Structure 1
Amino acid sequence: MRWRAADGRVLHGWLGGDPDGPLVAVLHGCPDTRHVAMTGDAAAREVGVRLLCVSRPGYGDSTSYPSTHASVADDLAGVASELGHDRFAVLGMSVGGGYAVACAARHPDRVTALGLVSTQPPGTREEPVEELERAFAPEFLAWRAQVTPDDPDDDALAARWLTMLPTADAALVATRTPAEVAASVREALADPAAYLRDAATMSRPWTYGPEQVRCPVRVWFGELDDRAGADDFVRGFADVEVTVRPATTHLAALVAYWPEVLATLSR
């Protein structure tokens, strides 16, 4: 699906789950897109939740743009309004956590709950975003060349992608068809600027902090996650509960537990 931002940019996303349920809006990880929310469609219908994910600028068909935590938060709030939801919960997956915090902080009268899954803590780099993008580009472009996202062979691209994931996460992704996996990879990596903007932004402090969030916050980490853990930053939220899932990896902390996460946030 496609919507328009306030300035006319295209916002490419996905909408599923129960059309009559309360809205939970997902802010995806990096590199990732609206496709991560698609894995929660059946769970959202089961729980009675409407599920939305808007791909950030440069991912999929979302217009490339020098996005910030604030601009992404406002884009999402605008789409929620267009869908008729004055109130909604936000769910930040991995790198999406910083954007989810910004949405809760900037729209306190609309965001009912904030969920964070496998979220990395705020970064500490002080360089401007543009400088960090240039610094990260060589390594990222070399890695992207190994993935070869423009490969038209769905089976080959999907197989290559699965080898780059932890075994448990790969098993979850492999439940989707090769065409679905390949489409997700292509949308995530077609525009290098999207990944580089995310990587630079996550390396810096968040624009909005836990102390600016008024709604209840629920946090989930995987015990085997080598990218995120129950870091000190979560203690800054006024109303927070943290769950560490045993023997669980980064992506599995969300995809293997969709019903529980959505039921918690919808309450």
Structure 2
Amino acid sequence: MRWRAADGRVLHGWVGGDPDGPLVAVLHGCPDTRHVAMTGDVAARGAGVRLLCVSRPGYGASTAYASTHASVADDLAGVVSELGHERFAVLGMSVGGGYAVACAARHADRVTALGLVSAQPPGVREEPVEVLVDEYAAEFLAWRAQVAPDDPDDAALAARWLAMLPPADAALVALRPPAEVAASVREALADPSGYLRDAATMSRPWTHGPDEVRCPARVWFGELDDRAEATDFVRRFADVEVTVRPATTHLATLVAHWPDVLGTVRDLSG
């Protein structure tokens, strides 16, 4: 689906789950897109929640833009209104955590609950985003060339992508047809600006912090995830519970546990 931001930009996303249920909006990781939420469609129907994911600027058909945590949060709130929901929960996956926190802080009168899965902690770099984008570009473009997202061969592209993932995460992704895996990779990597903007923003302190969040928060980490850990920042939420899943990797912390995550967020939302 496509919507328009207040300034006319295209926002590309997906809506699934139970069309009559309360809304849970997913803030995807990096590089990733609306496709990660699609893996939760069956679980969302079972939990009785409607699931939304809007790909950030530069991913998929979402117009590239000098986005911030705040602008992404406001874009999402606008889409939620267009879908006819006043109140909603937010679920941040990995790098999406900072954006989810910003949404909960900026739209505190509307956000009912906050979930964070494999959340990356705030960064410490102080340089402007544009400087960090330039710093990261060469290494990222070299890695992107190895993935070759422009390859029209779905099976070959999917195989290269799976080979780059931890075995447990690759096994989960491989449950989807190669054409779906390839489509998700193309949307994530076709325009380098999506990843580079995310990476630069992730490296800096968050625009909004846990101290500004009024709704209850629940946080999940995977024991085997080398990219996220239960750092002190999550303890700053006023109402928070942290779960560390044994023998679980980064992506599996969400994709292998959709029913529990969605059920928890739904119950917190009342």
Q: Is 1:224 matched with 2:229?
A: no
Cα deviation, 1:241-263, whole Å, max 9, x if unaligned, reads 00000000000000000001001
Task: Look up the match of 2:261.
Answer: 261
In the TM superposition, residue 183 of structure 1 has moved relative to its aligned partner by 0.2
Alignment of 1:22-61 (within 5 A): 22-61=22-61
Alignment of 1:55-134 (within 5 A): 55-134=55-134
Q: State the alpha-carbon separation in 2 of the partners of residues 168 and 231 from structure 1.
A: 24
In the TM superposition, residue 195 of structure 1 has moved relative to its aligned partner by 0.4
Q: State the alpha-carbon separation in 2 of the partners of residues 208 and 229 from structure 1.
A: 20
| Identity between Structure 1 and Structure 2 (%) | 85
Q: State the alpha-carbon separation in 2 of the partners of residues 122 and 47 from structure 1.
A: 31
Q: State the alpha-carbon separation in 2 of the partners of residues 186 and 231 from structure 1.
A: 32
Q: State the alpha-carbon separation in 2 of the partners of residues 89 and 182 from structure 1.
A: 29
What code does the residue aligned with 2:164 have? M
Cα deviation, 1:105-143, whole Å, max 9, x if unaligned, reads 000000000000000100000100000000000100000
Q: Give ranges in structure 2 of 5+ residues lacking alignment.
A: none
Runs (4+) of structure 1 moved beyond 6 Å?
none
Give the match's secondary structure for 2:241. strand
Q: State the alpha-carbon separation in 2 of the partners of residues 257 and 220 from structure 1.
A: 10
Q: State the alpha-carbon separation in 2 of the partners of residues 58 and 204 from structure 1.
A: 19
Task: Look up the match of 1:244.
Answer: 244
Q: State the alpha-carbon separation in 2 of the partners of residues 195 and 262 from structure 1.
A: 26
Task: Look up the match of 2:166.
Answer: 166
What code does the residue aligned with 1:162 have? L
What code does the residue aligned with 2:217 have? V
Q: State the alpha-carbon separation in 1 of the partners of residues 58 and 121 from structure 2.
A: 23
TM-score by length of 1: 1.00
In the TM superposition, residue 43 of structure 1 has moved relative to its aligned partner by 0.2
In the TM superposition, residue 145 of structure 1 has moved relative to its aligned partner by 0.3
Q: State the alpha-carbon separation in 1 of the partners of residues 80 and 249 from structure 2.
A: 30
In the TM superposition, residue 185 of structure 1 has moved relative to its aligned partner by 0.1
Number of residue pairs matched by the alignment: 267
What code does the residue aligned with 1:228 have? A
Q: State the alpha-carbon separation in 2 of the partners of residues 33 and 46 from structure 1.
A: 23
Cα deviation, 1:29-79, whole Å, max 9, x if unaligned, reads 000000000000000001100000000001000011010000000000000
